[in-house]
């Protein structure tokens, strides 16, 4: 499959995550950053089948010392937990949003969970003592109508990339969205592969990668 966009360090594919992952070789990635969509076409049954199939691919694609970071809401993580039992559980982080969503008859949802998993027992490379509860605001707004409502902040991705990878390692983001992981990887000298099924979001990612790259004086990098 031809990339939708590429730089010297990375490639973005306009594709369903499962379709592109099938074409990638075993053990290629030191980090997979999977900020899952909250739903897929076909409803809840299809959703958890999708999570199961992606988890199988993640296990195949990660290097023996690889890391898997999964972000989802507590309900989805509870129901999909069996699909990640082959990984070592290393940490869980509560990501606290400014505002709560209030489903009828339930306490309001004000946080998502971030699971930090690994192929083997290993420690994160953390310079500071960081608590496992973090306040964050998701969403990315660029120029004009460029908007992604669920994008994770760059500081969060950068913290994870620094804690799990070294310069030259390769990162996979199967739900690239507005391109945060690619932007961070370019900044830190990591190789990357991203998949995004929504072309509107893919266009935002391309614009963002180009813009932030040129801001750092890397106009000849593509």
Domains of the chain: which residue ranges? Answer: 5-215
Q: What is the pLDDT of residues 131-186, one digit of tens each?
A: 999 998 765 455 555 545 566 889 999 999 999 999 999 999 999 988 999 999 99
- CA nearest neighbour of 15 among 207, 201, 218, 145: 201
| CATH of span 5-215 | 3.40.50.150
Angle value at C-alpha 48, between 106 and 200, nearest 5 degrees: 90
pLDDT score recorded for residue 52: 97
pTM over cut 0.75 = yes
Beta bridge partners of 148: 140
Q: What are the CA-CA distances from residue 30 to residues 42, 62, 78, 177, 206 (Å)? A: 32, 6, 25, 20, 23
Query: Which stretches in the chain have pLDDT values below 50?
Result: 140, 147, 219-222
Maximum distance among all Cα pairs of the chain, rounded to whole angstroms: 55
Q: What is the 8-class DSSP label of residue 153?
A: P
């Amino acid at each position: 499959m031809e990339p939708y966009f590429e730089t010297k360090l990375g490639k973005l594919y306009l594709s369903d995550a499962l379709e592109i992952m099938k074409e990638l070789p075993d053990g290629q990635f030191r980090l997979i950053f999977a900020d899952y969509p909250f739903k897929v076409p076909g409803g809840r049954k299809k959703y958890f089948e999708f999570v199961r199939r992606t988890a199988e691919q993640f296990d195949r694609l990660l290097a023996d010392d690889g890391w898997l970071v999964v972000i989802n809401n507590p309900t989805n993580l509870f129901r999909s937990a069996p699909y990640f039992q082959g990984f070592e559980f290393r940490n869980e982080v509560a990501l606290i949003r400014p505002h709560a969503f209030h489903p009828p008859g339930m306490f309001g949802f004000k946080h998502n969970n971030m699971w930090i998993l690994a192929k083997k027992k290993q420690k994160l490379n953390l310079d500071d003592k960081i608590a496992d509860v973090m306040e964050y605001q998701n969403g990315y707004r660029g120029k004009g109508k460029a908007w992604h409502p669920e994008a994770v902040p760059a500081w969060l991705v950068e913290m994870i990339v620094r804690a799990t990878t070294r310069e030259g390692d390769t990162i996979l983001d199967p739900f690239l969205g507005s391109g945060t992981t690619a932007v961070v990887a370019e900044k830190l000298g990591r190789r990357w592969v991203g998949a995004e099924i929504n072309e509107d979001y893919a266009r935002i990612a391309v614009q963002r990668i180009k813009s932030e790259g040129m801001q750092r004086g890397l106009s000849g990098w593509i």
